[in-house]
Structure 1
């Protein structure tokens, strides 16, 4: 992390500023095979302080006493020293060097956090991106002030810095490689590093190597801590919780917590909010160690008598199963068709959602890792388990990714029913992402597979989804045919829930085709079926559909009644997202006063926040701003539009962001 460079720079600056009259420096080589012991360091310091060789005692305690006496004498003369102990590996190594007198200061650098010294601790992180680019630029210019690569390739320097993980050592090595080849473009070196079989092997300039730096910390780990470090490379996501780490290591929580603490102290792990992660290059290093598990010295704890590679594969499988089974328990609280939750696994829906949010990257990574490792059951089933969670939160890119993997693995496994279901889910996800042409292909693939399996009920579900995608993409006539066939299939199958869903979508298509009487009839039938089933969320959706159909027919009062019935049903569902969508829908009815619109949208904004539906919340805030503008309350309108603008920016929705900005500009003088 450049700890020595920082210590030297700070020391020189402090001395030049007059804080100190002189300095002592020693490299303790704490991570070498032969570190400098306290007694040796004291001897070196005593000599530097002018003590004759024959006057230096043998015992370390006597040397320490003489050292402090000499420092006290200097302090009495008004002299202050800065003492730098570089590369200490333990508190014991530097305890004898404590100056005692308050006039002097001891500055220690270490790869470990030395928490027992009662010292001010300064943990160094990687450089900020701009600082990393500046380091590369300054190093190249120091070697050759005319180096054109510095002025012409700022973007290339930023890409190179990113691949170095903003680690000072890696940046210095990359700069050295460029200096050694003055004709090599920065982009060329960046491309070589990006495609290198091993970034760690590449980052070696002949004198310095990133791998060697990591080796210094790794070699000092106890065997069980080193084993856990290697295992953590198997985690499919960027960070890990202690529960998953305990499952991976197959060890009790207290032992795993102690090992994680030790790895964090050695700065091989970072810990934020009780989740542990690795720097990218450290993860590469741990992965290389994990891959070399066949070496006998790397045999993992608990694997005695077993082939190390087999044991590691078993541990990896155990971790992936942990994520899959716990996800099933969590998703059961969302009403998905998953396994029943383990007793006491999650106390509430909020607890389940919190776990899913924390582990989302690990869960999506588990699908890919399971596919690569040949665990086809997890790769195919976990995307189904995650479907409702990912749609609940609106993470459609994640859903597309994991479901695409499920399609591929189910096809390879010859699991036709699972493959058909995966293609149908992929069609839904692609439709939600407005990738309609890809959605059509997915739906047609699912339809063909379910047809070959003779499963009409599932074929009807596919047609219902296909019809929705066709309608949303501006093809209502084709959508009508698909929805009519879906309704007919579900009537014949006697599946009331799917029949109601198809009828609701059929009503929307009739509205697009301006056949409002049929739209009203289909929506009312859908609402009636959902009510019979006790599906209040579905009932609310169908009643909203009916409200717009009734409004289009000119039945304004009946439309408002349907909207109120929808709100009652949505609140009975107990799902903030359902309530938010219903309120947003009601706010779009014609003949509402601005104040009525605002009332609906304010309630919708609260429900969106409860549901963590950020994009919908931004839309609600924007709608409030528009309604306040109509009501003439310009200052209040700007307040809500700015809040919407902030969320649109956070979400990266540039079009909506620009639109909100235009509205704000129009309201301000």
Structure 2
């Protein structure tokens, strides 16, 4: 009798789903994944175009060595699975692997695949019969590793892909024990405990996102003209999708379903949609549903903080602001933030936390749904309590921004003897905070206005005034002060409204919008007159005169300023008298009344000295210097400038000193050596003040003075430094001007 051994069970070692037809803008990420999957032994086929063997690549100092486990993590809808499949097919097609195993773990679904279930599927694919698969999960894992080891002993390598994992525990038992194989994971959570190569996947670059839209349209219909004719509309649509691949694919599908709709029309609809999340749904895929799966697993306190962060008025938050919003200690908040970052629901960069545009919209909806659910089920006022709690948390955040701005702005005072809060160590730290929070601070004004918090909407623009003028952010000042004007008017706060209109006039004048500035000043003058506040009316008139002067009407400005001087002398406000005297000097200079210009400037400087205000004394002395120069008295002009420098040094502020020194360099009758001396002193003061923009201008000024004196080599040295500093600051126009001067010297 002949005994026949049973035939081996069939295996399924080619189970990777199809690779995506297109993968726009992911070349670098594909390279990162392939470098991790690459075997240690030499391969005859390499999907890279470099021609290097895998072994050579693995030992190159520029290429990281291969690893057993690679984890691709990122936001829902960012294209993790597509990247894994593209890399997997490239690697198997290159002959790096003899086969593949694939499982979708559905880690974020209501019923995720358990490790035992995944192991059973893998064992079946490896040819193990059902009756031979152990019941216990640990025994299944041991058999699985043994089977993989046997394959490795036969010289066979497998690529194992676990898609959609939600935790390290879900995949840990699936890891092969033999390093001949490779294990590739996709997940919405960063998994740092698996000793894996971590590939973090972000949204697409704008150009790649637009290309993806075009390619998808052309794949569906090569003759579709919209891919070519869309122009900038396709860039706008990509931006509205937040450059998120899922949203881009859905938008492309919506266009495919409506062949006669233009890209621009779809972009307009999406921009106007009450909810972009609701709009981005093609019947099979939806961005909101994808985000739902990510948030479903959040603990209640994590979900609460996630939705609260959408209340932030700007694009990102510091830890202190998040702690204030949550009303929890910073260590506890940091732990939650770390978990939200791990889940790719928020991002962290430079110790600041932010959300993708669509995620922020989702978090906002989550907060609203919480409020609505509480309201629907409210008994005994529970729903109102929940809504009140959200309102309190929102106000707490806006109050934090307002009070911190007050503390920071106190450091901008030019009077060194004034007490300042100890929230910030010094001016540099205060300015750094204001610069970092600028979008949040200006956004807080609009947020306060929109939520009926009139006191903050009126107060915060006043608090922001010094900082925005200091930095020259007049457009921001115009925006927040316009809001303050409207809200103060609605509240019937006439004094606040008058002050806001006056500040708006200053901002508009700073932005060279003179006609609008004059209208704003007129409204302020009218309101102050109705309040019978002659002093403040005089200040607004002074501003109106300055706007007339700056718009090229010095004769009209002179009449206004003379009227203001009479008002302030009657009121007895010496500081305002000094300010208007300085403005009168400028008017007289324009009208070539040089004797009057010199006298009024000297009187202004004397008054400021009497008031103990060396900063404005220095400014008035500079005004006097230019009046003296115009009257043909260059020695007296230079003497006035020297007095201005001495006054500025009495302030104890290197920034004020630098500004005065830079002003002094503009005198016409200075020799190049005198100019260079002023510029070098200004450069030293700029270094001390950390005023990099002014420092760059000082370097450029030294270069120009050296060029005039004939020292071209030294001029090139300073121009190079100035150009580099302007480029570092992002001041491309100024960098270009210096570059032109350099080019002229080097030809």
TM-score (norm 2): 0.85
Is the partner of 2:198 in helix, strand or coil? coil
What is the CA–CA distance in structure 1 between the aligned matches of 2:340 and 2:473, rounded to whole Å? Answer: 33
Supply the distance in 2 between the matched residues of 1:2 and 1:84 (Cα, whole angstroms).
Answer: 15
Residue 439, structure 1, aligned to residue 520, structure 2: no
Distance of aligned partners of 1:540 and 1:514 in 2 relative to their CA distance in 1, 3 Å threshold: same
Tell me which residue corresponds to 1:419. Answer: 497
Structure-1 residue corresponding to 2:701: 623
Relative to structure 1, the CA distance from residue 132 to residue 547 in structure 2 (aligned partners, 3 Å threshold; closer, same or farther) is same
Alignment of 1:555-574 (within 5 A): 555-574=633-652
Q: Structure 1 residues 624-633 or 105-114, which shifts more?
A: 624-633
Q: Is the CA contact 2:213–2:252 (under 8 Å) kept in the aligned structure 1?
A: yes
RMSD over aligned CA atoms reads 2.3
Residues 627-666 of structure 1 aligned to structure 2 (within 5 Å):
627-638=705-716, 640-641=718-719, 659-660=737-738, 662-666=740-744
What does residue 53 of structure 2 align with?
A: none
Query: In the alignment, which of 149, 153, 156 is matched to residue 233 of structure 2?
Result: 156
Cα separation, 2, equivalents of 1:382 and 1:615: 27
More relative contact order, 1 or 2 (CA 8 Å, 6+ apart): 2
| 1:376 and 1:410 in contact (8 A); partners too | yes
Structure 2 counterparts to residues 104-253 of structure 1, below 5 A: 104-253=181-330
Match of 1:554 in 2: 632
Superposed, which structure 2 residues align to 1:249-328 within 5 Å? 249-296=326-373, 307-328=385-406
Task: Kindly indicate whether the alpha-carbon contact (under 8 Å) linking 1:393 and 1:613 is maintained by their aligned counterparts in 2.
Answer: no
Q: Which residue of 1 aligns with 2:526?
A: 448
After TM superposition, give the deviation of residue 443 of structure 1 in Å.
0.7
Q: Secondary structure of the residue that 2:412 maps to in structure 1?
A: coil
Q: What pairs with 1:593-612 in structure 2 (closer than 5 Å)?
A: 593-605=671-683, 607-608=685-686
Runs of at least 4 residues off by over 6 Å: 297-300, 646-655
Find the residue that maps to 2:269 and give its secondary structure. Answer: helix
Q: CA 1:144/1:273 → structure 2, altered by over 3 Å: closer, same or farther?
A: same
Deviates more, 1:350-359 or 1:262-271: 350-359
* 1:445-466 alpha-carbon deviations (Å, 9 max, x no partner): 1111111111111111112211
For residues 342 and 470 of structure 1, do their structure 2 counterparts lie closer, same or farther at Cα, with a shift above 3 Å needed? closer
SS of 1:345's equivalent in the other structure is coil
**TM alignment of 1:401-412, pairs within 5 A:** 401-412=479-490
CA distance in 2, matches of 1:641, 1:360: 31
Tell me how far apart the structure 1 counterparts of residues 505 and 673 of structure 2 sit (CA, whole Å): 40
Aligned to 1:468: 546
Following the alignment from structure 1 to structure 2, what is the Cα–Cα distance between the partners of residues 467 and 660?
36
* Residue in 2 that maps onto 1:103: 180
Secondary structure (helix, strand or coil) at the match of 1:122 reads strand
Are the counterparts in 1 of residues 641 and 664 from structure 2 also a CA contact under 8 Å?
yes
Flag structure 1 segments of 5+ consecutive residues without an equivalent.
none
| TM-fit CA distance, 1:305 | 7.8
Q: Summarize the Cα distance change of 1:422–1:305 in structure 2 as closer, same or farther, 3 Å threshold.
A: closer
Higher mean alpha-carbon deviation, 589-598 vs 359-368, is at: 589-598
The answer to whether 1:528 aligns with 2:598 is no
Matched residues, number: 665
How far has the Cα of 1:643 moved from its partner?
5.5
Following superposition, the deviation at residue 649 of structure 1 comes to 7.0
Q: How far, CA to CA, are the matches of 1:271 and 1:317 in structure 2?
A: 24
Q: Is the 8 A contact 1:503 1:525 kept in 2?
A: yes
Assess if the C-alpha contact under 8 Å between 1:579 and 1:604 holds in 2. Answer: yes
Any conservation in 2 of the 1:336–1:388 contact (CA below 8 Å)? no
Any idea what the Cα deviations from partners look like across 1:268-324, whole Å, max 9, x if unmatched?
100112111000000111111122233447999xx9785322221121111111111
Larger radius of gyration: 2
Which residue of structure 1 aligns with residue 11 of structure 2? Answer: none
Larger CA deviation: 116-125 vs 213-222: 116-125
SS in structure 2 of the partner of residue 187 of structure 1: helix
Higher helix share: 1
**Does residue 18 in structure 1 map to residue 95 in structure 2?**
yes
Give TM-score scaled by structure 1 length. 0.95
Which residue of 2 is the match for residue 45 of structure 1?
122
Residue number among 661, 667, 670 corresponding to 1:592 in the alignment = 670
Report how far residue 119 of structure 1 moved: 1.1
Unaligned runs of 5+ in 2: 1-77
Give the Cα–Cα distance (whole angstroms) in 2 for the partners of residues 51 and 111 of structure 1: 32
Counterpart check, 1:70 vs 2:147 = yes
**Deviation per residue, 1:377-429 (Å, 9 max, x gap):** 11111111111111111111111111111111111111111111111111111
Q: CA deviation at 1:623?
A: 2.8
Q: Which moved more, 1:476-485 or 1:626-635?
A: 626-635
Worse-superposed segment, 169-178 or 340-349: 340-349
> Which has the higher mean CA deviation after the structures are superposed, 235-244 or 345-354?
345-354
Contact kept? 2:542, 2:564, Cα under 8 Å: yes
Does 2:431 align with 1:353? yes
Question: Which of these residues, 585, 590, 598, is aligned with residue 507 of structure 1?
Answer: 585
